[in-house]
Chains A and B, each alone.
Chain A
Amino acid sequence: MSVLIFIDAAEGQVKKSSLEAMTYGAKIAEQLNVAAEGVVLGNVTEDLAALGKYGVKKIHQVSNDELKNLDAQVYANVIAQVAEASGATVIVFSNSMDGKAIAPRLSARMKAGLVAGAVALPDTSNGFTVKKSVFSGKAFANISVATPVKIISLSPNAYKTVAGEGTAEVVAFAATVDAPKVKVTSVNKASGEVPLTEAEIVVSAGRGLKGPENWGMVEELAKLLHAATACSRPVADADWRPHNEHVGQTGFAIAPNLYIAIGISGAIQDLAGVNRSKVIVVINKDPEAPFFKAADYGIVGDAFEVVPKLIESIKKLKGVA
């Protein structure tokens, strides 16, 4: 028996969200007194044995050129084979974009109950119940799973990565790999930027910035903090910023450690999707802006005066000239 964790790699490097999934899965394995094992698909250059420090004892690697790009159908089939071979009773994914493609397929394939968007460890005191985020972060639901195999997709940034000691045994797994039916023809990635859903710190701005030409200071602040940039819906709709920066009810749901909202009023739709952020800072010149109610720290002031000062102050803290 095992807890099997899907280890997702992009360009040969294991994603941060998978480190969280490994730490989380290893903790569940400890809870259930079984081994934590990982599964990696494709040719990964990173030293997989070193991932043992996140608590996985064994990693099944399926090397096959057909697994270079994601075809959820092919991936789910291969993961099911590994899960059966390792006797997995719990399978853990990150609820990342790839996780959202694969986990539901695997759930239907194995008739294994799925909790998508888990935010805490399962409660195994009476059955198997997992807390997940619902209503776009406005509430939590406790989902009970009674099937022999359970699948959990862990919300990114919901469980802290812990690196300890140890190495994992890496074994080649000979799986039947179907030819993909989905052909990836091009990949377009903003290199060097922090992906929004994985970012520890997010700097977001809204209509209060008056126009796309004023985003320089937002980008500078984000760079200084190694943060991702985001925006409110009106800003994305007006094409001031790309749609993939839109957070909120109909955009990305994020849960960073620190969320800085600049010139965003904080309508209920803005709050959904970001209210699981651990610390929220709001900068707005309107003291009545609803966002202040959800904030931990706030400054009532003009963004064009406050943000440059904030940049200077953080530079001082970090000792950057």
Chain B
Amino acid sequence: MKILVCISKTPDTTAKIAFTDNNTKFDESGVQWIINPYDEWYALVRAIELKEADASTVINLVTVAGADADPIIRKALALGGDEAIRVNANSHDSFYIASQIADVAKQGGYDLILTGKETIDYNGSSIGGMVAELLDQPFISLAAKLELAGTKATLTREIEGGEEVCEADLPLVVSAQKGMAEARIPNMRGIMAARTKPLKVVEPVAADSLTTVAGFDLPPAKAGVKLVDPENVDELVRLLHEEAKAI
């Protein structure tokens, strides 16, 4: 069994979101970078669990980023990836990134490709579906459970107001979300081992970018909270009804 886990470098969840260069660039000053939580907590850890159940499993990691992503790749290797491939390109276009991952996937011949359900920066939720289309493989989005039996996968995916259980044969692309696995922290042995695990840097293949980021906006600041006396809850209901027209 060969598994490819797609990881992305994102700002920490508590990072201050600000922009520079006339609101065209994300302000990276002072930002801590992490592995996108969905990629790490759910996609990668589930892959590690599958390897724990079947020691012959190989886990490869792929990311499309510059060298500044190497620390987060090392962390993913410390958690339990076997080998990492970094496609040396910086892009904010999902199709360009998906094209690079699809190319790595074609060369590696993977049984299963896992991504997080979305990145916490661009919230596109697009890479998994695009990679699946480029590889002509089935795609299960927003999966909260994944079990394997031979070449058959059984998954639980989120739908509006509930969930559904479905089955598909490998090879398969899955986007993972909460429920799939529990977050782990790397242990010392993993951190030591990660130093010598292969991190291969490859140059990107030619691919189109379909979109560009023209700029960013921050939401308008709130006018400030209107506090209502806890003894006068009727006043809150009146405000919500008459002023905010929300109820």
> 8 Å CB contacts to A: which residues of B116-171?
117, 120-130, 132-134, 136-142, 144, 154, 157-169
Q: Which residues of A contact B233 (CB under 8 A)?
A: 299, 306, 309-310, 312-313
* Residues of chain B with a CB closer than 8 A to A278's CB: 246
A76 within 8 Å of B (CB atoms): yes
Q: How far is the CB of A132 from chain B (nearest CB, A)?
A: 8
Contact A269 B225 (CB under 8 A): no
| A144-B211, A305-B230 known; A198-B169 Cβ under 8 A | no
Asked if residues B159 and A189 are in contact (CB atoms below 8 Å), the reply is yes
Task: Give every chain B residue within 8 A of A281 (Cβ-Cβ).
Answer: 236, 240
User: Which of B54-62, B67-75, B216-224 participates in binding chain A?
Assistant: B216-224
Q: Establish whether residues B225 and A145, one from each chain, have CB atoms under 8 Å apart when the complex forms.
A: no
B228 touches A297 (CB 8 A): yes
Are A72 and B141 within 8 A (Cβ)? yes
Q: Is the CB of B95 within 8 A of A71?
A: no
CA distance A219 to B87 in the complex (A): 49
Docked-complex contact B163 and A244, CB < 8 angstroms: yes
- Chain B residue contacts of A136, Cβ below 8 A: 120, 123
Shortest CB distance A122–B (Å) = 12
Cβ–Cβ < 8 Å partners of A309 in chain B: 233
Shortest C-beta distance, B27 to chain A (Å), equals 11
- Which A residues lie within 8 Å of B214 (CB)? 129, 142-144
**A101 with B129: CB separation less than 8 A:** yes
The answer to whether A72 touches B132 (Cβ under 8 A) is: yes
Q: Is A258 an interface residue when CB atoms closer than 8 A count as contact?
A: yes
Give the chain B neighbours of A188 by CB distance below 8 A.
Answer: 162-165
Tell me whether A50 is interfacial, beta carbon within 8 Å.
no
Report if B215 contacts A (CB, 8 A). Answer: yes
**A185 close to B (CB within 8 Å):** yes
Give the total number of A-B pairs whose CB atoms are below 8 A apart.
283
Judged by a CB distance under 8 angstroms, whether B237 is at the interface is: yes
Residue interface mask B153-197, A partner, CB < 8 A = 1: 010011111111111110000000011000000000000000000
| Residue B107 lies at the interface, judged by CB distance under 8 Å to chain A | no
* B227 interface residue (CB < 8 Å to A): yes
Measured between C-beta atoms, what is the minimum distance from A111 to chain B in Å? 7
Q: A287-321 vs B: 1/0 string, CB under 8 Å? A: 00000111111111110011001101110110000
| B218 nearest in chain A by CB position | A139
- Chain A residues with a Cβ closer than 8 Å to the other chain, count: 105
B210 touches A184 (CB 8 A): no
B63 close to chain A: CB less than 8 A: no
**Neighbouring A residues of B81 by C-beta, 8 Å:** none
Nearest B residue to A314, CB-CB: B237
CB-CB under 8 A from A146, the residues of chain B are: 210-212
> In the assembly, what is the distance between CA of A131 and CA of B134, in Å?
27
Contact A111 to B208, CB < 8 A, known contacts A139-B216, A299-B233: yes
Stretch at the interface among A30-38, A52-60, A207-215, A248-256: A248-256
Of A19-27, A82-90, A113-121, A164-172, the one touching chain B = A113-121
A141's partner among B140, B216, B222 (CB-CB below 8 A) is B216
Binary contact readout B92-134 vs A (1 if CB under 8 angstroms, 0 otherwise): 0011001000000000000000000100111111111110111
| A61 on the B face (CB < 8 A) | no
Bound complex: CA of A186 vs CA of B244, how far in Å?
A: 42
Verify B169–A181 contact, CB threshold 8 A. Answer: yes
B217 touches A139 (CB 8 A): yes
Given A293-B222, A297-B227, 15 additional A-B pairs, CB 8 A: A10-B159, A72-B139, A104-B98, A107-B210, A111-B210, A114-B94, A116-B123, A135-B121, A142-B217, A144-B212, A187-B159, A193-B161, A296-B226, A306-B230, A313-B236
19 A-B pairs with CB atoms under 8 Å apart are: A73-B139, A97-B141, A104-B124, A105-B129, A107-B126, A108-B98, A116-B126, A134-B123, A138-B218, A143-B211, A146-B211, A182-B168, A196-B161, A250-B37, A250-B41, A268-B14, A296-B223, A297-B226, A306-B230
